[in-house]
C-alpha cells in the first residue's frame, strides 16, 4: 500500500533547518517551536551546575538559623551584593499551631532581610541586617522576607514580602512593600505602605503576591511575582506582572495575568529583543525556560532539569532598557532538606549556567543528559502507605494469574 506520507528515511545527521518532507508532530515542533533543534545550540537551553559557597554560618545546623530566597545580585564598588531572608530563632519552625512570638511557624516566619558581599561569587561576607522586622503593628512586624533589588535613578529599592500574621495561619498571606536607600549599604527607609497588594477576593492572587522581582523594561518598572492558585498541597503556581512608572507605585496588574502557568519563585531576565523566565516547579510547564517578545506572552523555549530554587542571578543589564538582553551565567539559590521534621532550615549555594545570548555555547550549557547519583532517585521514595498499597495490588494480580 502506498503511504500518504513522504517515506524517505529521516536523515541520520539532524538537519539544522526543517527538511522539506512530511514530519511527525514532534519533529515539526522541533523546528517550529524551539529556537534551534538541538538543545546545545539553543541559547535558552542550559543545564545547571552547583557549588557550595563559603562564608555563611548555620550554627549547629539544627534548624534555628536559615537563609533563603536570595535577591538578584548586583555589582557595585568592586564587589557583589546580595540580600536574602535570614531567620535566627530559638527553635526550628513548628507550624502555625505551635508558633509563638519567638517560635516560627514556617522557615521564613520571624525573619529579617540581611545582606552579604563577595569579590568572586564563591566566598561571601555577611554584612548584617538590611531591613529588620519593624515594631508591631507596622507592616511586616511578623516577618519580612523574600527580598529583591531594583536600582533606579541612582537609588536602591528592596521589594519584599511583609507578614502581619504567622505564615500558615491563613495560608501564606502577605502583600509586598518596599524600603529604599541611597547606597546598597543602606540605611534603608521603609516606605510604610503596601506597594503591590493581593488581588481582589476570588482572583488567582487573592491570598498572595510572593517573590516580587523588579526589573526595568521600556523605561518602566516591571514587578513579576508569583501566587498559588487553589488549595495546598495540590496547588498550581502562576506568575503575574505589575507595572509602574515609579518604584513606589501605583502598580497596575497586567489584565492577562497570570502570564506563566507554572513556576514557583520568579526569575526573569532580558534576553535578545524580549524577556525570558524560569518556570521551575508547581505546574504543567515545570522545568522549562520560556521566552516572550513582550514580557507577557511566553512560550516554552527550552526544557531542562535541576533548576535552581529561588534563584537570585547576577544579570548585568537587568536595570536598563538599552540594547539587547545579554542573559546571565550565575547566581545564588537556596537548598532545603524538605524531609527534615524537627530541624528544617535552608541554606544558600551557587549555581552556574549558560544563558548568555551568544554562540558558541560554553561547556556549562552541556546537554540534556544530566546524570544523578542513585541517592537522588531513592530520596523520592514511596510513602509506607503507598508501598503497602502497591505491594497488595501486585500480590492480587499474581494470585489471580496463579488461579486462572
Ligand atoms: C518561598 C517563596 C515565598 C513564600 C516562602 C517565602 O519559596 O515562595 O517566600 O512565601 O517560600
| Per-domain boundaries in the chain | 41-371
Q: Cα-flanking dihedrals φ and ψ of residue 396, to 5°? A: -60, -45
Write the residue with the smallest CA distance to atom 4 of ligand 1: 210
For 129, counting Cβ atoms within 10 Å of its Cβ (0-12 exposed, 13-18 middle, 19+ buried), the class is middle
Give every CB contact of residue 129 below 8 A, 6+ residues apart in sequence.
86, 112, 113, 114
| Residue of 3 and 228 predicted with greater confidence | 228
Neighbours of 207 (CB within 10 A): 18
> E-strand spans in 256-324?
268-272, 274-279, 288-292, 299-303, 312-313
Ligand 1 atom with the smallest distance to the CA of 146 is 9
Measured in whole angstroms, how far is the alpha carbon of residue 166 from the centre of its chain? 22
- The pLDDT, as a whole number, for residue 40 is 85
CA of 211 to the centre of ligand 1 (A): 7
Instruction: Indicate yes or no: pTM above 0.85.
Output: yes
Q: What percent of the chain has pLDDT over 70?
A: 99
pLDDT (mean) for 9-35 = 94
Among candidate residues 34, 70, 74, the one with its CA nearest the CA of residue 53: 70
Q: Name all contacts of 99-105 with Cβ < 8 Å and 24+ positions apart.
A: 99/166, 99/168, 104/166, 105/166, 105/167, 105/168, 105/169
Residue carrying C-alpha cell 561576607: 125
pLDDT at 235 over 90: no
Residues with CB under 6 A from ligand 1: 69, 108, 145-146, 161, 172, 210-211, 264-265, 310
Of 83, 107, 109, 161, which is best to mutate to test ligand 1, by the most ligand atoms within 8 angstroms of its C-beta? 161
For the segment 344-360, what is each residue's pLDDT rounded down to a tens digit? 999 999 999 999 998 77
The most confident of the ranges 37-41, 74-78, 231-235 is 74-78
Band of pLDDT at residue 232, cut at 50, 70 and 90: low
Neighbours of 279 (CB within 10 A): 27
- The pLDDT, as a whole number, for residue 337 is 78
Do 220 and 201 touch, CB atoms closer than 8 A?
no
Would you call the peptide bond into 137 cis, given omega within 30 degrees of 0 as the criterion? yes
- CATH 2.60.40.3880 is the classification of domain 41-371: no
pLDDT (mean) for 74-84 = 97
CA of 256 to the centre of ligand 1 (A): 23
Ligand 1 atom with the smallest distance to the CA of 208 is 10
For 323, counting Cβ atoms within 10 Å of its Cβ (0-12 exposed, 13-18 middle, 19+ buried), the class is exposed
- The pLDDT, as a whole number, for residue 234 is 65
Amino acid at each position: 500500500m502506498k503511504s500518504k506520507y513522504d517515506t524517505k528515511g529521516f536523515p541520520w545527521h539532524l538537519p539544522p533547518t526543517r527538511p522539506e518532507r512530511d514530519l511527525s508532530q514532534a519533529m515539526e515542533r522541533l523546528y517550529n517551536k524551539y529556537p534551534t533543534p538541538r538543545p546545545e545550540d539553543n541559547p535558552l537551553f542550559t543545564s545547571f551546575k552547583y557549588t557550595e559557597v563559603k562564608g555563611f554560618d548555620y550554627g549547629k545546623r539544627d534548624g534555628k538559623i536559615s537563609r533563603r530566597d536570595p535577591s538578584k545580585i548586583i555589582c557595585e564598588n568592586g564587589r557583589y551584593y546580595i540580600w536574602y531572608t535570614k531567620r535566627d530563632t530559638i527553635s526550628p519552625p513548628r507550624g502555625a499551631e505551635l508558633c509563638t512570638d519567638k517560635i516560627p511557624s514556617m522557615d521564613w516566619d520571624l525573619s529579617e532581610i540581611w545582606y552579604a558581599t563577595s569579590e568572586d561569587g564563591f566566598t561571601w561576607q555577611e554584612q548584617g541586617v538590611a531591613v529588620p522586622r519593624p515594631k508591631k503593628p507596622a507592616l511586616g512586624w511578623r516577618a519580612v522576607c523574600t527580598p529583591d533589588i531594583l536600582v533606579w535613578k541612582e537609588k536602591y529599592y528592596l521589594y519584599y514580602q511583609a507578614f502581619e500574621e504567622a505564615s500558615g495561619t491563613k495560608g501564606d498571606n502577605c502583600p509586598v512593600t518596599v524600603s529604599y536607600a541611597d547606597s546598597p549599604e543602606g540605611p534603608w527607609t521603609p516606605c510604610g505602605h503596601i506597594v503591590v497588594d493581593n488581588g481582589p477576593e476570588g482572583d488567582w492572587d487573592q491570598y498572595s503576591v510572593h517573590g516580587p522581582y523588579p526589573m526595568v523594561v521600556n523605561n518602566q518598572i516591571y514587578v513579576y511575582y508569583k501566587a498559588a492558585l487553589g488549595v495546598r498541597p495540590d496547588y498550581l503556581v502562576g506568575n503575574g506582572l505589575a507595572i509602574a512608572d515609579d518604584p513606589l507605585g501605583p502598580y497596575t496588574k497586567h489584565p492577562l495575568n497570570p502570564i506563566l502557568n507554572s513556576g514557583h519563585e520568579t526569575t526573569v531576565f532580558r534576553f535578545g529583543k524580549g524577556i525570558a523566565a524560569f518556570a521551575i516547579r508547581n505546574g504543567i510547564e515545570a522545568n522549562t525556560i520560556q521566552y516572550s517578545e513582550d514580557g507577557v506572552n511566553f512560550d516554552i523555549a527550552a526544557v531542562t532539569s535541576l533548576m535552581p530554587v529561588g534563584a537570585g542571578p547576577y544579570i548585568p543589564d537587568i536595570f536598563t532598557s538599552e540594547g539587547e538582553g545579554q542573559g546571565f551565567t550565575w547566581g545564588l539559590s537556596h537548598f532545603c532538606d524538605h524531609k527534615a521534621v524537627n530541624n528544617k532550615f535552608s541554606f544558600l549555594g551557587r549555581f552556574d549556567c549558560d544563558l548568555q545570548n551568544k554562540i558558541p555555547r560554553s561547556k556549562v550549557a552541556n546537554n540534556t543528559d544530566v546524570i544523578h547519583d542513585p541517592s537522588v532517585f531513592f530520596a523520592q521514595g514511596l510513602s509506607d502507605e503507598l508501598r503497602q498499597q502497591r505491594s497488595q495490588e501486585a500480590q492480587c494480580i499474581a494470585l489471580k494469574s496463579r488461579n486462572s
